[in-house]
Amino acid sequence: MNSTRALTKIKQTAFVDPALFKAVLTVNALFLNGFIGLIGIVANIINIINFKKQGYKDGVNVTLTALAVSDLGVLITQLIIIQIYNPWLEESSLLMLKPQMLLLVIYINEYFIRASGFVTACAAFERCLCVVLPMKVKLVMTRRVAAVVNISIFIVLIVYVVGPNSLVYVGS
């Protein structure tokens, strides 16, 4: 059997209707992922309000609030990325091209993902201190120390967003 003939036959049988593909992509990305993302956004806003009502007398509340803020940033930017990937969205109606918008939003999304990871590591370190220094952990991890560490994480990681975006040329 001729290999080109077999390859042509495979191409013909593996064809999916583009309208069906767009419909499946829209249902999966926009509705399912978008709905789950909206639930996460609402939950993180409730967490932030809850921690604010509890007060920031404890360093753990500061760290958990920082984690909720970074997760909120991840979810919001993820919803924006889902909207950019919308196959029904025409590029002619946008101010920028989709690749240009994705480049900006993906860096911001990665910033919040990294910040969330570092804040989670900070919370894990606080938990380890509770085991290692059970009577002195309140003296070591005060709310001021937790605030400085978490704010420093967000400030230092901003270099991740500013650096690549200042060096990338996106032109036509």
12 within domain boundaries: no
Alpha-carbon distance of 34 to 149, in angstroms, equals: 32
8 within domain boundaries: no
Structural domain for 50, as ranges: 19-167
Q: Phi then psi for 168, rounded to 5 degrees?
A: -90, 130
13 within domain boundaries: no
- Please say if the pLDDT value at position 143 is more than 80: yes
Q: Provide the percentage of residues in the chain whose pLDDT is more than 70.
A: 82
Residue whose pair of structure tokens reads 């049988």 in the numeric block: 13
pLDDT, tens digit (0-9, with 9 covering 90-100), for 57-92: 888 999 999 999 999 999 999 999 888 877 776 666
Q: What amino acid occupies position 41? A: I
Give the number of domains in the chain.
1
Mean pLDDT throughout 13-35? Answer: 76
130 within domain boundaries: yes
CA dihedral 102, 105, 106, 108 (to 10 degrees): 160
5 within domain boundaries: no
pLDDT, tens digit (0-9, with 9 covering 90-100), for 80-130: 988 887 777 666 666 667 777 788 888 899 999 999 999 999 999 999 998
Alpha-carbon distance of 154 to 69, in angstroms, equals: 10
Give the chain's length. 172
Q: Provide the percentage of residues in the chain whose pLDDT is more than 90.
A: 45
pLDDT at 93: 65
Residue whose pair of structure tokens reads 């930017």 in the numeric block: 77
pLDDT at 29: 75
Neighbour-count burial of 9, counting CB atoms closer than 10 A to its CB (0-12 exposed, 13-18 middle, 19+ buried): exposed
Give pTM, 2 decimals. 0.79
* Per-residue confidence band for 138, with pLDDT thresholds at 50, 70 and 90: confident
152 within domain boundaries: yes
Mean pLDDT throughout 33-54? Answer: 94
* Per-residue confidence band for 10, with pLDDT thresholds at 50, 70 and 90: very low
9 within domain boundaries: no
145 within domain boundaries: yes
